[in-house]
Chain A
Amino acid sequence: MKKYFSLFYFLFMFFVISATVCSAESGEYGYPITNPYVATILSTPPDLAAPLPKEIPVKELEMTVFPDRKIPDVLWYNEKLFYSLASQKEKAPLIFIIAGTGARYDSPKAIAMQKAFFQAGFHVICLSSPTHPNFITSASKFGLPGDIRSDSLDLYRVMKMAWEDARESIEVSAFYLTGYSLGGTQSAFISFLDENEKAFNFKKVLMINPALSLYDSAVRLDNMLVENIPGGVNHFDDFYAKLMQNITNSYKYGDFVDLNFEFFYRAFDKVIPTEQEQKAVIGFSFRISAANIIFVSDVMRNSGWIVPKNLELTRYSSITDYGKVAGRTQGFSFYAENMLLPVFKKNNPDLTLERLIDGSSLRSIEEYLKRTQKIGLVTNEDDLILGKGDIEYFKEVFQERARIYPRGGHCGNMEYKDNVAYMVDYFKNR
């Protein structure tokens, strides 16, 4: 029965995907989803994902980064920075994994990477993105993420502390570093920092689906929401209601008895049928992260944009209205111009928005990226956070250190078996 079921599931997946799959002759690379938006949302069909252990021994850890920092009561649960370590019993290389925008150290993608590296014999430390509320509150020096150089310094500090803590219990032969999405971009900047300080002297670094320019990618994701809600973003409620109606109808009239991943996979073409809606859903998910960043930074810095200046919210305060305001700003571009720039301008009066944006682009360390042989890159031709010419730029800068897959959207193929095999092989054998 189970066999029958998985066959049925496979057929249905094929049916769902066939609408978007190009002819099978692109057989060399078997990741099946050719629409980058579908790939980004659905990621890898489970039967095509790399085989990974169901569970590995992971220690959930926490650290106090700034002992003197007073944490606002409304963010009380983010007082300590949470991270995780999966360690080998014997001497082994240690790899750090940095999660993508708004993601926690134990987001599904980070966990999949952790398992893959652990299985391959690495010690693995997973860290949240500096854009995650827990990191902003507990470990961001300015309580204000988005300037990649400053964020990388924050990460570097945390990595050193995590290693200081772990070195008593594990034996390390070499240090490696990787990250996906924004975490990928940060990996390169951290490696750049480490060239001077050499706290780790990373042997190799791998960026997975990085943003070339943090700002451009963020604006691209913002626009996906703004440009694809019929009637504009103030009609988001209608859009959401329709999405819920789609889910309800698919569930009600389908042969489903549970609202699980399988339901979502099988009903995808009914729940989010059009490309416009797919873009809006991706944009919405980014907008939640952006609203989190805006609210948390506003509270941490008492900057008075969303929450009235000097108002001390408590853990019981209703903050729903602040969420609404934060969610309806112009997203990241609002944040960069109004919240980020003024703070960094204080120390550097010549700073302009343009310079801030340029400084958070990989182009600003181009010379280093060309020269060093230790940094590799994995991305997809159709990664939707990249713009025109970005892939060509990557090819030119990284040459044979760039691995560019024909499809996969943004991080959609990360768990695909070939991708995982390449990722592990890059650190082990190349």
Chain B
Amino acid sequence: MKVKIREKMMIFLLAGAMFAFLTGCAAKHCDSDKPEDLVPAKLTLDARSDTKYMIDAYDPLECFNRRMYNFNYYFDTYFFLPVVSGYAFITPDYIEYRITNFFQNLREVKNLTNCLLQLKAEDSGITLGRFLVNSTIGLVGFYDPATDFGWLRRNEDFGQTLGYWNVGAGPYVVLPVFGPSTCRDTAGLLFDGAVKSVCTDAALDNAESKSAILAAANALNAIDARHRVSFRYYKSGSPFEYDLVRRLYLDLREIQIAK
């Protein structure tokens, strides 16, 4: 059964990739066709200049990425966001916050794993403490008393762990659904996902209809996570949104890794 869900995930991701490629190949290329009456621009970059530009990034997959960026917009607009707003509409705010807390508490497993892998003793202690306190006093994570104790959440993931051990980011990648990432962070996502599925397998070992529970939990987790992110594709209206998002994502990750 477990395999089935993963299969579904894979099919889903592949479908996204296919869509991006197909729409791209069928209709529009990344490089526009040069018309015959093309007139070179009056202002161009000085090719001899060695000026560096902050907006530049290592993005060899840019053509694919810009398509995926576009695909994610459609996925968001016609599927994900309607589901999220339906959820937000029927769920009282109070319950929404409990659900967010619940999943964030489960994510402490990921945080702890990666604190340990980065040999961060204090952060590991705090994260373990948070998990224990919130899972018990916090009623399986629905509440977050640990934060009130001053134990603030340490967000760590395997992408950061790799970065901590000096693994470079590699090319920038826009993933289907997940959005901005890098090769390193994609590997991180896969690793964290694997750890998570080992843990949930163990936790739900004897449960009946385990696959149904897992599917529902994963769906709710995804909806809750999207609900807490205010980013909307193309909403800035800036023609350079792709470039700016890329810059911000890469910088943000470097800052997180430095901590």
Residue numbers of A with Cβ under 8 A of B are 1-2, 73-75, 77-78, 104, 128, 132-134, 234, 236-238, 240-241, 244, 247-248, 251-252, 257-259, 288, 291-292, 295-296, 299, 304-321, 323-325, 327, 329
A251 touches B240 (CB 8 A): no
> Which residues of B are found within 8 Å of A311, using beta-carbon distances?
32, 34-35, 38
Question: At the interface, yes or no: B153 with Cβ under 8 Å from chain A?
Answer: yes
Q: Are the CB atoms of A291 and B240 closer together than 8 Å?
A: yes
5 chain-A/chain-B pairs, Cβ below 8 angstroms: A257-B155, A288-B238, A299-B239, A316-B70, A323-B240
Query: Assuming A237-B51, A308-B41, A316-B66, what are 5 further A-B pairs, CB within 8 angstroms?
Result: A240-B54, A292-B239, A307-B41, A311-B34, A317-B30
- Taken together as a complex, chains A and B put the C-alpha atoms of A78 and B132 apart, in Å, by 49
| B240, A319: Cβ atoms closer than 8 Å | yes
Which residues from B are CB-within-8-Å of A310?
35, 37-39
Taking a contact as CB atoms under 8 Å apart, the answer to whether A1 and B150 are in contact is yes
Is B55 within 8 A of A134, CB to CB? no
Q: Of all chain A residues, which has the CB nearest B56?
A: A320
**Interface SS of chain A:** helix
B121 at the interface (CB under 8 A from A): no
A252-B259 contact in complex given A77-B234, A316-B29, A318-B62, C-beta closer than 8 Å: yes
Closest Cβ of chain B to A387, distance in Å, is: 29
Binds A, one of B5-13, B204-212, B249-257: B249-257
Q: How far apart are the CA atoms of A73 and B234 in the complex, in Å?
A: 13
Q: Which residues of B contact A (CB under 8 A)?
A: 24, 28-35, 37-45, 49, 51-56, 62-63, 66-67, 70, 73, 148-150, 152-155, 234, 236-240, 243-244, 251-252, 254-256, 258-259
Flag if A257 contacts B152 (CB, 8 Å). Answer: yes
- Which residues of chain B are within 8 angstroms of A314 by Cβ–Cβ distance? 28-30, 32
A382 to B255, CA, bound (A): 34
Q: Which residues of A contact B34 (CB under 8 A)?
A: 311
Report the bound CA distance from A299 to B28 in whole Å: 18
Given the interface pairs A244-B251, A257-B154, the reply to whether A292 lies near B240 with Cβ below 8 Å is yes
Instruction: Identify which of B32, B45, B54 contacts A325 (C-beta below 8 A).
Output: B45
> Closest Cβ of chain A: how far from B199's Cβ, in Å?
23
A325-B258 Cα distance, complex, nearest whole Å: 32
In the assembled complex, the CB of A86 is this many whole angstroms from the nearest CB of chain B, namely 18
* Whole-angstrom distance between the Cβ of A133 and the nearest chain B Cβ: 4
- Rounded to whole Å, the gap between the CB of B172 and the closest CB of chain A is 12
Q: Given the complex, which residues of A lie within 8 Å of B149, measured CB to CB?
A: 1
Q: Please, which residues of chain B bring their CB within 8 A of the CB of A329?
A: 43
Closest to A314 in B: B28
Complex Cα–Cα for A134 and B243 (A): 18
Kindly provide the distance from the CB of B259 to the nearest chain A CB, expressed in whole angstroms: 5
Q: Which of B42, B239, B243 contacts A305 (CB 8 A)?
A: B42
For the complex formed, measure the closest distance between the CB of B36 and the CB atoms of chain A, giving whole angstroms.
9
Closest 7 CB pairs of A and B: A309-B39, A77-B234, A237-B52, A134-B237, A240-B54, A314-B28, A133-B237
